[in-house]
Amino acid sequence: MSEQFAAVEIIAAKRDRNELTDPQIDWVIDAYTRGAVADEQMSALLMAILLNGMNMREISRWTDAMIKSGQRMDWSMLSRPTVDKHSTGGVGDKITLPLAPLVAACGGAVPQLSGRGLGHTGGTLDKLESIPGWRASLSNAEMLDVIEKCGAVICAAGPGLAPADKKLYALRDVTSTVEAIPLIASSIMSKKIAEGTSALVLDVKTGNGAFMSDPAKARELAQVMVELGVRAGVTTRALVTAMDVPLGLTAGNALEVRESVEVLAGGGPADVVELTILLAREMLDAAKINPLHDPADALKNGAAMDSWRQMISAQGGNPEAPLPVAKHQHQITATESGEIVEMNALAVGVSAWRLGAGRERLGEPVQAGAGIEIHAKPGEKITAGQPLFTLHTDEPIRFDRAIEALNDCVRISSTGEQVARLPLVLEKITG
């Protein structure tokens, strides 16, 4: 077939800092998805976008073209309003696990289509797959069935959802164009809008362990994504939250599931509990749900735990089964006494990844039991010889490089120095 445009002209337009027209954007996304635009041509266009940016109209149209490359989910037959949450990811960010059943227990329907981890940030599906029997891949009919019965489903997005994004995501990864805000925002929001939820809360992480380490850039990304959601008719709001230290006391798949279950049982680390409750309240408010319980009460009275067990069982998992434990452990202790004033989240994430909790390339297996337990965090006093971290892996050969990643990760002071930490929530952005 003869093509409406030439890819080289569109590349040149963006190279020369011109705006792309709506028809140009529609064509280039469609043509790339069906193979009429080559990878090297799209690579050049992505680099031009990274260097020269896009305005809001261009980003919105680019997002819409990616949504139109596939199917849209429809939840209109459900008996409760739908609301979802997306996190840009970080170290120890297991919030989706307790949050989805918590919001379900309060009266929402949560269609959480999640992904796998790459690099130092863990993937929700990898975590849940450490539960014996649990299945990530469900048909659309199975998804509907689970969400109607349980109020929440956490599963893999099908191949029909924004297929253009799948191709572009892989290309951005190998062409050093991941960081472009128009491309990040359109990638996340094309999938979330195609997912068909009526309301969406975004958790945009910032700090050294986050994808967007600079708070100003995180704010910009949050604002662009909220605007994209609103333009698409989805009630969207965003919280910019801290990822300068790991979230909770674990990083690694089964370790994070265990911690999530502690939160659902009414315990767990204070920062995980606080953020889970905060996001649950935002989700219920965004979807205009009159809650059956306040989220804090639903964690205490067992309602959220009941939803979790139902949801895990409905996807073939055994919520009572013991979680996998790594074959080998190694403890790192404090070399001096004082107060912990700094802990580098990125270093903890890289160490957990080197232990086998994460993957270097898409499709690689991960170890269910690998990861790190954190015994003390910034603001806490510690004595020389006390445990700081316990490292877990099935392959002891991995310990050396994991320990190396933690060199200078923690700073201990005995001079009364102030702990430098970001507040848990830096900003809230509403559409």
pLDDT tier at 388, thresholds 50, 70, 90? very high
- Cα angle at 26 between 183 and 225, to 5 degrees? 35
Q: Which of 136, 135, 154, 127 is nearest to 324 (CA)?
A: 127
Domain that holds residue 373: 328-413
Residue with tokens 């008719």: 233
Please check whether residues 125 and 247 belong to one and the same domain.
yes
In a domain, 41, yes or no: yes
Q: 114 catalytic, yes or no?
A: no
The per-residue pLDDT for range 277-302, each reduced to its tens digit, is 999 999 999 999 999 899 999 999 99
Query: Parallel, antiparallel, or unpaired for β 199-206 and 235-242?
Result: parallel
Residue 120: pLDDT band by 50, 70, 90 thresholds? low
% the chain with pLDDT above 70 = 98
d(CA 407, CA 223): 36
Backbone angles phi, psi at 112, to 5 degrees: -95, 95
pLDDT of residue 117: 67
Q: What six digits make up the tokens of 82?
A: 């739908």
Contacts of 102 (CB under 8 A, 6+ apart): 264, 276, 277, 280, 295, 298, 299, 304, 307
Calpha distance 375→1 (Å, rounded): 63
Distances (CA, A) of 244 to 6, 268, 343, 350: 45, 20, 8, 14
Report the number of distinct structural domains present in the chain.
3
In contact, 367 and 393? CB cutoff 8 Å: yes
Residues 307 and 338 both lie in one domain:
no
pLDDT surpassing 60 at residue 134: yes
Please check whether residues 47 and 180 belong to one and the same domain.
no
The vertex-184 CA angle with 424 and 136, nearest 5°, equals: 80
| 227 has pLDDT over 80 | yes
Measured CA to CA, the distance from residue 240 to residue 223 in angstroms comes to: 10
- Please tell me which residue in 61, 86, 354, 398 is annotated as part of the active site: 86
Distance CA(321)–CA(325), nearest Å, equals 12
- 72 catalytically annotated: no
Verify that 232 and 303 share a domain, yes or no: yes
The neighbouring-strand residues paired with 340 are 412
Sign of CA dihedral 228, 289, 106, 294: positive
Q: Is 187 a catalytic residue?
A: yes
- Global pTM? 0.94
Q: Are residues 116 and 43 in the same domain?
A: no
Active-site annotation holder among 26, 165, 244, 271: 165
Write down which residue in 34, 53, 72 finishes a domain. Answer: 53
> Quick check: is 414 catalytic?
no
| CATH number of domain containing 310 | 3.40.1030.10
In 332-409, alpha helices (H): 345-352, 399-405
Asked if pLDDT for residue 119 goes beyond 70, the answer is: no
Q: Is residue 118 predicted with pLDDT exceeding 80?
A: no
Q: Are residues 269 and 336 in the same domain?
A: no
Q: How sure is the predictor about 77, in pLDDT bands with cuts at 50, 70 and 90?
A: very high
Whether residues 45 and 93 fall in one domain: no
Average pLDDT of the segment spanning 192-205: 96
| Predicted pLDDT of residue 1 | 56
CA 120, 139, 153, 77 torsion: positive or negative?
positive
- From the candidates 116, 120, 167, 172, give the one annotated as an active-site residue: 172
Of the listed 187, 190, 307, 351, which one is catalytic? 187
Instruction: Residue 345: give its domain's CATH number.
Output: 3.90.1170.30
Same domain, 286 and 178: yes
Verify whether residue 191 is a known catalytic residue.
yes
